[in-house]
């Protein structure tokens, strides 16, 4: 990779001849989430889209790059063509920028995810758009522009090859503005197909991989350049500033101390990772990446990652509810193994940064407190909370649009921080408030102290990141509140083991669907899953029982119902539709009207699908005094 020593402003020296290209990464300057300089240096690294476009621009063009998150745009700066890479939430700002440049007679080209999936809209604001990955399309567009025959749309017909890939021109990025400019990638595409994610639609449902030797060579070149720049800064700065810079490098909070692999799925192929991580060892770098959490199921791989310099992994945990994971087509995440997998990374000194999404159809008001409690208990160093967002190009967008659930079409709010759709089990206001509450709670000082108490590696860097995240949250997020019902829902629902398997009988609703073999039950792991939500029509707590029920679990359920009734003052509906197996004495305990009235006074306890499921199996059981619901709860 041919690197040119950058000027201190991050731009190349201008030459007299040739065309000039201005690449702009838009960012709303008035956004409440706009990072300060110190926040960027602690937690932010740049996107590679525009440095890559610069690399694929013909050499006789001069290239400038402006990241609007870092610096203002000079709309009167001389240039022939302007290129904008656009994510959906930045589309309104990109259109404003395009308008200003087109008023000045400049040619504007747009690319990225949003123009790819909203081409007609983007074409209203641009002279040309690029749909899909641009490496093969961009040189052709530039040649057409020079020949005066530039088309309106350039559409990818095949994914670009990653062999002989031109290294992104990261030297164009502003110095001293990011956590690191040492950004690279090793793979593209994702063989998973999460409903809310645009990666596999945009980059493909299989992964492509760069040759390991090319990745290593790129990192070595960038590393030499960054180190040379840091030496010059230390040499030229006053003594006290040089000392502080050296100290920041030493503790790992200065640009140049860590490499960020920006792949959406870095560990997509274990054989490739073994080869790459082994090759990284001699470089003695520190690096972070995006990974699956279940990488931690293989201790040998985690050990190799740590030995090669891995200090941080971002993991798409998404939810602590298996139904939510199934809903978004992410069943490979196994909630019951999350704690064990986090511990495995921690045992090797690797920081775990989970991404959590709020607002799935199975999420209720209890999801926020449950998530913060789990992440705090497991001492994760950072967490990224997001509101579920139906981005154009995703299956989620198509589903919500078809159902009429999207109520806000302002693209600037499609940033994972605003509610733009109607949730299933809470109001939009409750989802927004819960998102704010979770951020403030997780980044409170007591929480930060507790989570970092067990950290032994890179403590200063991890503390600095938490401190800057806390500043951002306090400045940008209202505090948020949870309704009193949130804790009731959280405490009432549970997943309980079934210990007594000897006297279970099948539900008539499920007996015909599967063969009931009492002898085989002892070898199975049986659980009772208690799910709870508020049923607005009946002003009641709707308790859905799934799995199997024994006597001890029935007693625990009654205890939890009593506590919930006291706090919520709401009636309770017990749904037996999804209960597959139950012990007779457990069923009798739940439908003993006098005992239930004594245990759960002052509210009504009603029953749904009990007769259909178990009445014929319980000989002589009187259901007098019980209120049975016959209504079909299709929306429950």
Average pLDDT for 514-542: 76
Mean pLDDT to the nearest integer, 77-105:
97
Give CA–CA dist 556/580, Å, rounded: 18
Q: Enumerate the H helices of 266-393 as residue ranges.
A: 270-280, 299-307, 322-327, 338-347, 367-377
What average pLDDT does the segment 83-112 reach? 97
Q: State residue 517's pLDDT score.
A: 62
Delimit the domains of the chain by residue range. Answer: 19-155, 179-482, 491-629
Cβ contact 413:221 at 8 Å: no
User: Is 491-629 in CATH node 3.30.750.24?
Assistant: yes
Higher pLDDT, 444 or 1: 444
Residues 6+ apart with CB under 8 A from 183: 45, 46, 48, 168, 170, 259, 260, 261, 262
- pLDDT at position 103 is 97
Q: What is the DSSP letter of 287?
A: E
**CATH superfamily of domain region 19-155:** Cobalamin-binding domain (3.40.50.280)
Model pLDDT, residue 519: 59
Which of 470 and 630 is assigned the larger pLDDT? 470
pLDDT in tens, 399-414: 999 999 999 999 999 9
pLDDT, one tens digit per residue, over 39-68 is 888 888 889 999 999 999 999 999 999 999
Q: How far apart are CA 209 and CA 308, in angstroms?
A: 19
> Tokens for 282?
């001699």
Token couple for 8: 């201190």
Q: How confident is the model at residue 515 (pLDDT cuts 50, 70, 90)?
A: low
Structure confidence at residue 629 (pLDDT): 73
Query: Is the pLDDT reported for residue 213 higher than 60?
Result: yes
Model confidence at 88: pLDDT above 90: yes
- Return the pLDDT at 631: 58
Look up residue 399 and give its two tokens: 């589903």
pLDDT tens for each residue of 286-301: 999 999 998 999 999 9
- For residues 371, 375, 378, 383, the Cα torsion angle rounded to the nearest 10 degrees is 150
Asked whether residue 232 carries a pLDDT value surpassing 80, the answer given is: no
> For residue 28, what are its two tokens?
């709303």
Q: Which residues contact 162 (CB under 8 A, 6 or more apart)?
A: 188, 208, 209, 210, 211
Examine the pLDDT at 244 and tell me if it is beyond 80.
no
Interval 300-310 mean pLDDT = 96
Mean pLDDT of 530-549: 88
DSSP for 521-547 reads GGGS--EEEEEEEEETTTTEEEEEEEE
pLDDT at 16: 38
pLDDT the model gives residue 334 = 80
- Long-range interactions of 113-120: CB distance < 8 A, separation 24+: 113/86, 113/87, 113/88, 113/198, 113/202, 113/391, 113/393, 114/86, 114/87, 114/88, 114/90, 114/392, 114/411, 115/86, 116/202, 116/393, 117/198, 117/201, 117/392, 117/393, 118/88, 118/91, 118/392, 119/153
- 520: pLDDT confidence band, cut at 50, 70 and 90? low
pLDDT by residue (tens digit) across 575-628? 999 999 999 999 999 988 888 888 888 899 999 998 888 877 776 666 666 777
Q: For 129-137, which contacts have Cβ atoms below 8 Å and span 24 or more sequence positions? A: 129/153, 129/154, 130/154, 131/155, 131/156, 132/156, 132/202, 133/159, 133/160, 133/188, 133/202, 133/203, 134/49, 134/52, 134/53, 134/56, 135/52, 135/56, 135/160, 135/165, 135/166, 136/160
Q: How far is CA 151 from CA 49, 126, 633, in A?
A: 21, 11, 55
Q: What is the pLDDT of residue 618?
A: 74
Characterise 620 by phi-psi region: left (phi > 0), alpha (psi -120 to 50), beta (else). left
Q: Which residue has the higher pLDDT, 492 or 250?
A: 492
Q: Which residue has the higher pLDDT, 150 or 251?
A: 150
The mean predicted confidence, pLDDT, of the chain is 88
| pLDDT at residue number 4 | 33
pLDDT score for 176: 79
What is the structure's pLDDT at 518? 62
Whether domain 179-482 has CATH 3.20.20.70: the reply is: yes
Which residue's structure tokens are 């670009």?
Answer: 160
pLDDT tens column, 472-486: 999 999 999 998 888
* Strand runs labelled E in 467-539: 494-497, 505-506, 527-535
Per-residue model confidence (pLDDT) at position 432: 97
Distance CA 355, CA 313 (A): 11
Note if the pTM is more than 0.95: no
User: Which pLDDT score, from 0 to 100, does residue 190 have?
Assistant: 84
Sorted by sequence, the CB contacts under 8 Å of residue 436 that are 6+ apart come out as 477, 478, 479, 480
**pLDDT at position 536:** 73
Helix (H) or strand (E) holding 20: strand 19-25
Whether 245 has a pLDDT exceeding 60, the answer reads yes
3-state secondary structure of 574: strand
Torsion of CA 373, 376, 380, 386, to 10 degrees: 50
Give the model's pLDDT for residue 10. 38
Instruction: Pick the most confident of 21-25, 171-175, 245-249, 501-505.
Output: 21-25
Q: Which pair of structure tokens corresponds to residue 331?
A: 């069943």
Tell me the pLDDT band of 306, cut-offs 50, 70 and 90: very high
260 vs 70: CA distance, rounded Å: 19
pLDDT, one tens digit per residue, over 354-403 is 999 999 998 989 999 999 999 999 999 999 999 999 999 999 999 999 99
Q: CA 580 to CA 566: how far, in whole Å?
A: 29
User: Residues of the chain with pLDDT > 90: what percent?
Assistant: 59
Q: 573: Cβ–Cβ under 8 A, 6 or more apart, which residues? A: 535, 538, 540, 541, 542, 543, 605, 606, 607, 608, 629
For the residues 544-549, what does the mean pLDDT come to? 93
């Amino acid at each position: 990779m041919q690197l040119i020593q950058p000027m201190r402003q991050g731009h190349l020296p201008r030459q007299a001849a040739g065309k000039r290209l201005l690449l702009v990464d838009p960012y709303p300057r008035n956004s409440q989430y706009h990072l300060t300089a110190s926040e960027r240096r602690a937690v932010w690294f740049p996107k590679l889209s525009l440095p890559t476009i610069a690399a694929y621009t013909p050499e006789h063009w001069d290239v400038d790059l402006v990241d609007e998150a870092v610096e203002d745009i000079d709309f009167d700066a001389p240039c022939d063509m302007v290129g904008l890479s656009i994510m959906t939430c930045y589309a309104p700002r990109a259109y404003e920028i395009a308008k200003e440049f087109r008023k000045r007679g400049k040619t504007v080209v747009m690319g990225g995810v949003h123009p790819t999936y909203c081409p007609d809209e983007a074409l209203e604001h641009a002279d040309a758009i690029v749909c899909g990955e641009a490496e093969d399309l961009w040189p052709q567009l530039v040649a057409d522009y020079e020949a005066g025959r530039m088309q309106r749309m350039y559409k990818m017909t095949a994914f670009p090859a990653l062999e002989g890939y031109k290294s992104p021109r990261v030297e164009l990025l502003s110095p001293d503005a990011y956590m690191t400019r040492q950004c690279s990638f090793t793979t593209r595409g994702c063989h998973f197909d999460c409903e809310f994610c645009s990666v596999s639609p945009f980059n493909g449902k299989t992964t492509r991989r760069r040759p390991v030797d090319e990745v290593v060579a790129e990192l070595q070149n960038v590393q030499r350049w960054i180190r040379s720049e840091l030496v010059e800064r230390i040499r030229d700065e006053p003594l006290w500033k040089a000392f502080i810079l050296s100290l920041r490098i030493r503790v790992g909070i200065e640009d140049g101390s860590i490499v960020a692999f920006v792949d959406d799925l870095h560990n997509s192929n274990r054989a490739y990772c073994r080869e790459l991580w082994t090759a990284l060892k001699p470089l003695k770098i520190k690096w972070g990446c995006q990974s699956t959490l279940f990488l931690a199921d293989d201790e040998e791989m985690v050990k190799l990652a740590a030995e090669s310099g891995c200090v941080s992994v971002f993991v798409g945990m998404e939810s602590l509810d298996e139904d939510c994971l199934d809903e978004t087509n992410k069943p490979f995440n196994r909630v019951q193994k999350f704690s064990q997998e986090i511990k495995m990374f921690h045992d090797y000194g690797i920081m775990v940064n989970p991404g959590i999404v709020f607002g799935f159809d199975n999420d209720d008001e209890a999801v926020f407190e449950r998530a913060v409690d789990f992440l705090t208990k497991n001492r994760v160093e950072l967490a990224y909370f997001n509101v579920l967002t139906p981005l154009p190009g995703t299956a989620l967008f198509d589903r919500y649009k078809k159902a009429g659930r999207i109520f806000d079409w302002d693209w600037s709010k499609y940033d994972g921080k605003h509610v733009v759709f109607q949730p299933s089990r809470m109001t939009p206001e409750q989802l927004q408030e819960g998102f704010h509450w979770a951020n403030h709670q997780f980044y409170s000082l007591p929480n930060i102290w507790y989570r970092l108490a067990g950290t032994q590696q890179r403590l200063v860097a991890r503390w600095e990141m938490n401190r800057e995240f806390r500043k951002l949250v306090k400045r940008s997020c209202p505090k948020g509140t949870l309704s009193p019902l949130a804790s009731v829902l959280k405490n009432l629902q549970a997943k309980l083991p079934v210990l007594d398997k000897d006297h279970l009988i099948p539900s008539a609703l499920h007996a015909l669907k599967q063969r009931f073999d009492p002898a085989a039950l002892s070898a199975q792991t049986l659980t009772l899953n208690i799910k709870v939500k508020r049923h607005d029509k009946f002003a009641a707590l709707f308790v859905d029982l799934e799995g199997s029920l024994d006597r001890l679990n029935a007693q625990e359920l009654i205890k939890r119902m009593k506590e919930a009734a006291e706090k919520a003052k709401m009636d309770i509906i017990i749904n037996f539709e999804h209960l597959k197996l139950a012990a007779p004495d457990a069923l009798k305990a739940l439908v003993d009207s006098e005992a239930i009235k004594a245990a759960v006074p002052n509210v009504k306890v009603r029953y749904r699908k009990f007769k259909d499921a178990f009445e014929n199996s319980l000989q002589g059981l009187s259901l007098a005094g019980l209120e049975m619901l016959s209504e079909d709860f299709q929306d429950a």
